[in-house]
Amino acid sequence: MTALLEIENLRVSFPTASGRVEVVKGLSLSLGRERLGIVGESGSGKSMTGRAILRLIRRPGRQQADRMVFDGIDLQARTERGMRQLRGARISMIMQDPKFSLNPVMTVGDQIAEALVTHERLPRRDVRARVIEMLHSVRIHDPERVMDLYPHEVSGGMGQRIMIAMMLIPRPDLLIADEPTSALDVSVQAQVLDLIDELVREKGMALILISHDLDLVARYCDRILVMHAGEVVGACAARDLHKASHPYTRGLLAAVPRMEETREELPVLDRSAWGGT
């Protein structure tokens, strides 16, 4: 399998009172048309990794890699304009909070249509048909009504499905989903992830699923990277997550309550061993 995305030695840093601090410290990965999960606790550098792939680290933050190639394209050599053409069209990102990412003064239908026409020239009638089809595929059953609504008029779960529709309508090759369901409750969470999963498989896309939830990532990915303090501390096939040998990964796994919980006390991480984050 030739890699769709290759990253070598990615570093992201921010200035602080005591000098520049690296929040991603030399991350490398190679991704085919597969589903990769990135897990770790908050602050471990997951989102910064996702954003760096799209070159979305805002100043004064800085990103630098030895190599960052997407489908033969050197991402670091691209102009900002060239990056904008890639974003959305070939690499899409779903963020945690749909309310925050949707434009509040534009109807749902117009936003999805805009996501499509910025990347593809189409007659207006076809645009409308594609938007309706996309809303159907994210299980919105009355797309004609929903198209005319504004973001504040839809529930959290529907807002997230609209986000997904918007991100997938240009048919990207790589979808980066950063905690796509953390703002949703369990029943809706499973629906949204099943949906992403189905669309990813159907369209042969690659997926990077970023989450702090180990069980969730194990359910929806083929391969998993575990991050801690800006570094990848473990990598394994999703089905082997529960056999992971790295002590940090083992510590995280053990701390999660189980459906059949019989332990009187949950084991906690010894933070001192990990630099006290």
Partner 1 sequence: MGWNMSVTAISLQNLDVSYGTTKVVQGVNIEVAEGESFALVGESGSGKSTILRAIAGLAPDWTGAISVLGAARGHQVDRDFATRCQMVFQDPYGSLHPRKTVDAVLSEPLLVHGFGNRSARVAEMLAAVGLDQRFRFRFPHQLSGGQRQRVAIARALMLEPKVMLLDEPTSALDVSVQAEILNLLKKLRRQQGLTYLMVTHNLPVVSFMCDRMAIMQKGRVVEIAPATALHDGSFTDPYSQSLYAASGGNPDRKDQP
Ligand X SMILES: Nc1ncnc2c1ncn2[C@@H]1O[C@H](COP(=O)(O)OP(=O)(O)O)[C@@H](O)[C@H]1O
Binding positions for ligand X, rule: CB under 6 A:
14, 23, 40, 42-48, 61
Q: Which does 263 bind (CB under 5 to 8 A by kind): partner 1, ligand X, Mg ion, none?
A: partner 1
Helix ranges (H only) for the chain are: 46-53, 80-86, 98-101, 108-117, 124-137, 143-146, 156-168, 186-203, 214-220, 247-255
Integer Rg of the chain from CA: 19
Angle formed at CA 274 by CA 268 and CA 277, multiple of 5 degrees: 80
- Write out 195-230 in H/E/C secondary structure: HHHHHHHHHCCEEEEEECCHHHHHHHCCEEEEEECC
Closer to ligand X by CB, 68 or 113: give it: 68
What is residue 232's three-state secondary structure? strand
Residue 18 binds partner 1, judged by CB under 8 A: no
Residue 214 binds partner 1, judged by CB under 8 A: yes
Residue 237 binds partner 1, judged by CB under 8 A: no
Residue with tokens 């117009």: 110
Bridge partners (DSSP) of residue 223 are: 36, 237
Q: Which does 191 bind (CB under 5 to 8 A by kind): Mg ion, partner 1, ligand X, none?
A: partner 1
Residue 275 binds partner 1, judged by CB under 8 A: no
Q: How far is the CB of 25 from partner 1 (least distance, A)?
A: 20
Residue with tokens 């807002």: 159
User: Which 152-171 positions form the footprint of partner 1 (CB under 8 A)?
Assistant: 155-156
Q: How far is the CB of 132 from ligand X (least distance, A)?
A: 29
Let me know if 152 is exposed, middle or buried by CB neighbors in 10 A (0-12, 13-18, 19+). Answer: exposed
Q: Which of 47, 49, 111, 249 binds Mg ion (CB under 5 A)?
A: 47
Contact criterion met (CB below 8 Å) for 207 and 175: yes
Closer to ligand X by CB, 50 or 88: give it: 50
Q: Which of 96, 189, 211, 249 binds partner 1 (CB under 8 A)?
A: 189
Residue type present at position 266:
L
Q: How far is the CB of 57 from ligand X (least distance, A)?
A: 9
Residue 42 binds partner 1, judged by CB under 8 A: yes
- 273 — alpha (psi -120 to 50), left (phi > 0) or beta? alpha
Of 43-51, 82-90, 113-121, 260-268, the segment contacting Mg ion by CB under 5 A is 43-51
Residue 263 binds partner 1, judged by CB under 8 A: yes
Q: Provide the binding-site residues for partner 1, judged by CB under 8 A.
A: 41-42, 155-156, 184-191, 212-215, 219, 251-252, 255-261, 263-269
Q: Provide the binding-site residues for Mg ion, judged by CB under 5 A.
A: 47
